[in-house]
Chain A
Amino acid sequence: MSSKTIVYSELRSSKAYYILLGICAVLVGLGALSFFHLEHQGHHVTGMNNQIVWGLPHVFAIFLIVAASGALNISSIGTVFSKTIYQPLGRLSALLAISLLIGGLAILVLDLGHADRLLVTLTHRNTKSIFAWNIWLYSGFLALGALYLWTMMDRKVNRFYKYAGFAAFNWRLILTMGTGSIFGFLVAREFYTGAVMAPLFISMSFSLGLSVYILVLLASAALGSREVGDLIVNRLRYLLAIFIGAVLFFELARHLANLYVTEKQGVEAFILKDSRYAALFWVGQIFFGSLLPLFLIFCKKFVNQRWAVRLAAMLVILGGFVQLYINLIGGQAYPLTLFPNAEVSSSFFDGEITQYSASIWEWLLGLGGFALSVLILLIGLQVLRFLPESLADEVIEPLSQA
């Protein structure tokens, strides 16, 4: 731990800080309003139905949960892989991970048909359910994340820093595999089935978590007038490129594997060619979400240009969101196969492609959860010392030798 050279301090409040806090509070309030509306009315006010059973709130939730586990990576690189240059970034990374996870979980829980029965998940457990595992993985992640933070921030327990870091890193890998397996183990849904979902989600968590981290780091630096040098930003920038490549690799592997299997060719054609999800995939996920950020990162003209990094991170986030949307909504919109090689029709929309458009309530719930994450982050930054006073090159330089 490099606490000798790096000084951490709280985020000093400013007008901009309070405006941001206010916006988040309003959004959280609207999210709560949406929850009470759903709780009272039932889900008939949403765009979800018996075909698209998980909708936009779940896209938000899974995005936040996946990004949470990825955000913790920054500190893991410092701890587990002993890249000391990343160690000053560790505190913010762990705080960000915790706040993102809480926001994501809030959405998941508040979208339940019976959110009031949440305690039932503790009294009744089905050990074979990946959901039940995830409940423990999420709670454990929060606990380990907090423990990890403690070892980073308190000299007295600093000697446990390595252990906490290792535990948190392994835990988060398992957690993201668990999130991916929620889909990967569904035999009924052709678009999901497959072990590749676990590594795909892990790679997504790397790129999404890092993108969110980059944006938060630069924004908090701007809010507190702290210096962030090019050295550290460029490190994160090229790391992001590697992660984008990893997502593309697993996405490619998945689609190629699916395309080879005759029974999955229908759903692949649906996603890649014949539906509005195809445009989202090629334009949203591949072009804007992957290729354009890669260009922004590698183009010589944009070296040391902050806006290029910011834009690249934003685009990766956008692409990741679109990717999750395609997976969740597109995967459900494609009908189940009751009889291969046959056309089926019924009053229950068998054999039909389902349309989905989210209602305002789903948007509010999702944005509310997102705002909750930011709110927790903002409050955390102000009350405890998460942010290094300076990440200027001369401060970072000695660390990068290691």
Chain B
Amino acid sequence: MSQINAYRRKFMAAVGGVAVGGLASGVILRSVEASDVPAKPADQPVSNKVRWGMLIDINRLTDGGVAMVEACKREHGWGNDPKSRPEQQSQWMRTVKVTDKLTQHSFTLPVMCQHCEEPPCVDVCPTGASMKRADGIVQVNKHICIGCRYCMMACPYKARSFVHESLTDQRPHSPRGMGTVESCNLCVHRIDKGQLPACVEAAPNAVIFGDLNDPNSRISQAVKTLGGSQIRADLGLNTGVRYLGL
């Protein structure tokens, strides 16, 4: 499904290249006047008027997203749980190499929590620890996570990891601990301060981050003109993370 969309989009982009190009730079020019993540007063709750989203242009990610993954590791302190075997290590984000079996067309993209509008992990969680914030960020409320791993069974993107051992000296802004499930949370602690997620900062030329509900945001303008495919769009989850060039 997503491949058909991708094909159609590329086709249209090729046909109407000049016109769209003109519009595109207009999009950019307008966007730099306002920041992508407006700072929110610390004592105000997040609002459902906002829906955070990310558009990743994989053709412009020259490293396939390695820098983004590294930034995520540093920001959240995962990637080296000393006692866990490789299959047990947490991976909030990874680069996936995809090769079409017939055409041999190949590309690499970063995959993490796709921040679905209808997240299966939230549906299945018995305690509500797996949750979606008002602003569309899907995360684990580790305070009430009992470690049943049902969300890991339910996630179609394999976005979640289970912490298999006790940890110390976590990042103060990113708690993670034994017996709970964890995943990309779009760097909530940064967004709440009006900063971009760490991975977005690590790939500023290939990723646009912003509010999908705001028609004037840079990301809304970009997805409107260029589209933005979802991984497993057939599941109808309406993801917040979108890709160009799938």
A residues near B (Cβ < 8 Å) are: 41-44, 48-51, 53-54, 112-115, 117-118, 120-121, 124-126, 128-132, 135, 182, 185-189, 332, 336-339, 341-350, 354
* A44, B128: Cα distance in complex, Å: 25
Is the pair A343, B164 in contact by a Cβ cutoff of 8 Å? Answer: no
- Residues in B with CB closer than 8 Å to A49 are 85, 87-88, 164
Give chain A nearest CB distance to B92 CB in angstroms.
10
- Residues in B with CB closer than 8 Å to A338 are 96, 98, 111, 156-158, 231-232
Give chain B nearest CB distance to A187 CB in angstroms.
6
**Known contacts A112-B179, A126-B128, A188-B156; A350/B94 CB under 8 A:** yes
Is the pair A135, B126 in contact by a Cβ cutoff of 8 Å? Answer: yes
Give chain A nearest CB distance to B229 CB in angstroms.
11
Is the pair B101, A341 in contact by a Cβ cutoff of 8 Å? Answer: yes
A188 interface neighbour in B94, B120, B162, B180, Cβ under 8 Å? B120
What residue of chain B has the Cβ atom nearest to residue A263's Cβ?
Answer: B234
- Residues in B with CB closer than 8 Å to A132 are 126-127
Give chain B nearest CB distance to A180 CB in angstroms.
14
Sample (30) of A-B pairs whose CB atoms are under 8 Å apart: A42-B163, A42-B178, A43-B179, A44-B83, A44-B164, A44-B165, A49-B87, A50-B161, A53-B152, A54-B153, A112-B146, A112-B148, A113-B148, A117-B147, A121-B146, A129-B125, A129-B126, A131-B125, A131-B148, A135-B126, A187-B154, A188-B153, A189-B153, A336-B156, A337-B232, A338-B158, A345-B97, A346-B97, A348-B96, A350-B96
Give chain B nearest CB distance to A175 CB in angstroms.
16
**Known contacts A113-B179, A131-B148, A343-B98; A126/B126 CB under 8 A:** yes
- Residues in B with CB closer than 8 Å to A120 are 127, 144, 146
* A187, B124: Cα distance in complex, Å: 11
Is the pair A42, B149 in contact by a Cβ cutoff of 8 Å? Answer: no
* A346, B66: Cα distance in complex, Å: 11
Is the pair B120, A187 in contact by a Cβ cutoff of 8 Å? Answer: yes
B150 interface neighbour in A131, A343, A346, A348, Cβ under 8 Å? A131
Give chain A nearest CB distance to B194 CB in angstroms.
30
Is the pair A113, B87 in contact by a Cβ cutoff of 8 Å? Answer: no
* A115, B166: Cα distance in complex, Å: 15
Give chain B nearest CB distance to A351 CB in angstroms.
8
What residue of chain A has the Cβ atom nearest to residue B95's Cβ?
Answer: A346
What residue of chain B has the Cβ atom nearest to residue A343's Cβ?
Answer: B99
Whether a CB of chain A sits under 8 angstroms from the CB of B181 is: yes
A347 interface neighbour in B95, B125, B179, Cβ under 8 Å? B95
Whether a CB of chain A sits under 8 angstroms from the CB of B15 is: no
Is the pair A342, B126 in contact by a Cβ cutoff of 8 Å? Answer: no
B residues near A (Cβ < 8 Å) are: 2-3, 81, 83-85, 87-91, 94-102, 111, 120, 122-129, 144-150, 152-158, 160-166, 178-181, 231-232, 235
Is the pair A129, B124 in contact by a Cβ cutoff of 8 Å? Answer: yes
- Residues in B with CB closer than 8 Å to A112 are 146-148, 179
Is the pair A113, B91 in contact by a Cβ cutoff of 8 Å? Answer: no
A354 interface neighbour in B87, B128, B166, Cβ under 8 Å? B87
* A117, B179: Cα distance in complex, Å: 11
- Residues in A with CB closer than 8 Å to B95 are 346-347
- Residues in A with CB closer than 8 Å to B100 are 341-342
Give chain B nearest CB distance to A384 CB in angstroms.
34
Give chain A nearest CB distance to B112 CB in angstroms.
10
Considering residues A113, A343, A354, which has the most beta carbons from chain B within 10 angstroms of its beta carbon? A113
Give chain B nearest CB distance to A125 CB in angstroms.
7
* A112, B145: Cα distance in complex, Å: 10
Is the pair B146, A188 in contact by a Cβ cutoff of 8 Å? Answer: no
Considering residues A41, A115, A135, A348, which has the most beta carbons from chain B within 10 angstroms of its beta carbon? A348
What residue of chain B has the Cβ atom nearest to residue A40's Cβ?
Answer: B166
**Known contacts A42-B165, A42-B179; A186/B153 CB under 8 A:** yes
What are the 8 closest A-B residue pairs judged by CB atoms, nearest first? A113-B147, A113-B179, A188-B156, A49-B87, A131-B126, A44-B164, A42-B165, A53-B149
- Residues in B with CB closer than 8 Å to A339 are 2-3, 98, 231
Considering residues B97, B101, B148, which has the most beta carbons from chain A within 10 angstroms of its beta carbon? B148
What residue of chain A has the Cβ atom nearest to residue B179's Cβ?
Answer: A113
Give chain A nearest CB distance to B107 CB in angstroms.
10
Give chain A nearest CB distance to B152 CB in angstroms.
5
B126 interface neighbour in A121, A337, A347, Cβ under 8 Å? A121
- Residues in B with CB closer than 8 Å to A118 are 146
B101 interface neighbour in A129, A182, A343, Cβ under 8 Å? A343
- Residues in B with CB closer than 8 Å to A343 are 98-99, 101
- Residues in A with CB closer than 8 Å to B231 are 338-339
What residue of chain A has the Cβ atom nearest to residue B87's Cβ?
Answer: A49
What residue of chain A has the Cβ atom nearest to residue B101's Cβ?
Answer: A341
* A131, B154: Cα distance in complex, Å: 12
- Residues in A with CB closer than 8 Å to B153 are 53-54, 186, 188-189, 332
- Residues in B with CB closer than 8 Å to A124 are 127-129, 144
Is the pair A54, B158 in contact by a Cβ cutoff of 8 Å? Answer: no
Is the pair A126, B125 in contact by a Cβ cutoff of 8 Å? Answer: yes
- Residues in B with CB closer than 8 Å to A332 are 153
B128 interface neighbour in A53, A125, A130, A185, Cβ under 8 Å? A125
What residue of chain B has the Cβ atom nearest to residue A339's Cβ?
Answer: B98
What residue of chain A has the Cβ atom nearest to residue B237's Cβ?
Answer: A187
Is the pair B179, A114 in contact by a Cβ cutoff of 8 Å? Answer: yes
Give chain A nearest CB distance to B110 CB in angstroms.
10
What residue of chain A has the Cβ atom nearest to residue B92's Cβ?
Answer: A348
- Residues in B with CB closer than 8 Å to A188 are 120, 153-156, 235
Give chain B nearest CB distance to A189 CB in angstroms.
7
Give chain A nearest CB distance to B148 CB in angstroms.
6
